[in-house]
Structure 1
């Protein structure tokens, strides 16, 4: 069993408080403004942020509203990164949150292992990029199965393994890529501009989002290499782009942590909610 490591920090560690926190994300002025409604859409994937709910939760709520209003897939494939530098790997343990236990699709996970993805429970044990997505899924769905995958530089191989396993299992998936966008400030070692920070952060992230909307994984990564944009989940995003073609991409929401905190932008992070259908 994989136990939560950021409950009480990134989100409340009490079930009722957590439910209220997620509800507040949906209803926030920075969120969609309402709870999910009827289920009639069809989507392929989303890009969602993974900061504390008070900052990125309203942005993430845009995507989870779309998921809730769409037909349920057989499986959610959640792509995260390792902030500790672990290589690509998956977890087969079920994941516990204050809202209960979320079940990993172990049969699908074993197919992925057969197709070349490593299993490493320790790599997932202290990583929050996937964990913070689980309570949102538990809030909008009564029952679901998922597979958590950390994605690194070998994103093409991971994407190939996913596509092969989906074909082998004949399962329909929604892919969730977990990533924040530009991290600006001395704390992040990235401050290439010191004036008009808000506008320049938006412009920097808009360039990355432009490549994402083209479904161009290479163009997206080349843009990061060229600009130095500190987008932590670049490889989960690139992996998603390799998996969901053909698709239509739509930016649902973008803002920064400084927009939420109403502080200056000297230390701030960009968040984007992007839908693929």
Structure 2
């Protein structure tokens, strides 16, 4: 069985050639993106990335910053993709089916995924992934960045909900990677604060552009310090609408357990910066963990 794309034609182009051109534009975006393509052969150290997951016309340039780091690092045996559940699934769920995008199929590493299931860190649940876009929208960027080895890409997709034991999940990912002697790169898929009446969250009435950035950076600070508890605690205390907060917490735990030591914020901007509409705006951060 193969999971068919649900976001193609909406979040990103559903035509292979147009999708390729769209991603190139994201990389070459001088204002919000890195402005150039990944330089292959650098083999930089990389433990993981936190990348946005909105439509490419909004957040694709932010994603490009993250995948530039992926493209300039050593090819991983497995890419662990942690997403959120916009449908409200509350646990941690993986999928054993391969994924399809306009660039072709992406294989799921069943052995690694089943090890996480055996450790009690995740469940297998097709419904949790059926209509979820947060993991899917990362795949075309990954395939594009690693196109020379596109047939060798293996992933483990995990949707992380509010009832998930994020510490257990993070530890299980790191333990499994070590036990299987696999080089993994973590990909956490999350936007930051969704502000506006459309999102039911309006803490700021004036100077939204400035205040939204300051607000998001107050949470990013805890990611930089790799403090998952303080990150989640502050999100919950403020009610911040960071959709992938539980995925981020699990990501932090996994990165720590894998020995990561450096966090770098490459870019931050919002949909308001792109559209000029601040009545409803979403924050996008491009974060690299080495």
TM bin (shorter chain): over 0.9
Q: In 1, Cα distance between the equivalents of 2:77 and 2:157?
A: 14
What is the CA-CA distance between 1:160 and the residue it aligns to? Answer: 2.5
Matches within 5 A, 1:114-263: 114-116=118-120, 117-141=122-146, 142-143=149-150, 144-153=153-162, 154-245=165-256, 246-261=260-275, 263=276
SS in 2 for 1:191: coil
Q: In 1, Cα distance between the equivalents of 2:65 and 2:119?
A: 33
Aligned residue for 2:52?
A: 49
Aligned residue for 1:4?
A: 5
Aligned residues: 276
Alignment deviations for residues 26-74 of structure 1 (CA, whole Å, 9 cap, x no partner): 0112100001112221100000000000000000100100100101111
1:44/1:247 contact within 8 Å kept: no
**CA RMSD, aligned part only?**
1.0
Give the TM-score taking structure 2 as reference length: 0.93
Alignment gaps of 5+ in structure 2: none
Matched, 1:61 2:64: yes
Aligned residue for 2:110?
A: 106
Q: In 1, Cα distance between the equivalents of 2:171 and 2:266?
A: 28
SS in 2 for 1:132: helix
Q: In 2, Cα distance between the equivalents of 1:231 and 1:14?
A: 30
Alignment gaps of 5+ in structure 1: none
Aligned residue for 1:97?
A: 101
Q: In 2, Cα distance between the equivalents of 1:260 and 1:127?
A: 24
SS in 2 for 1:147: strand
1:151/1:158 contact within 8 Å kept: no
Structure 1 runs (4+) greater than 6 angstroms displaced: none
SS in 1 for 2:23: helix
Aligned residue for 1:38?
A: 40
Q: In 2, Cα distance between the equivalents of 1:93 and 1:161?
A: 21
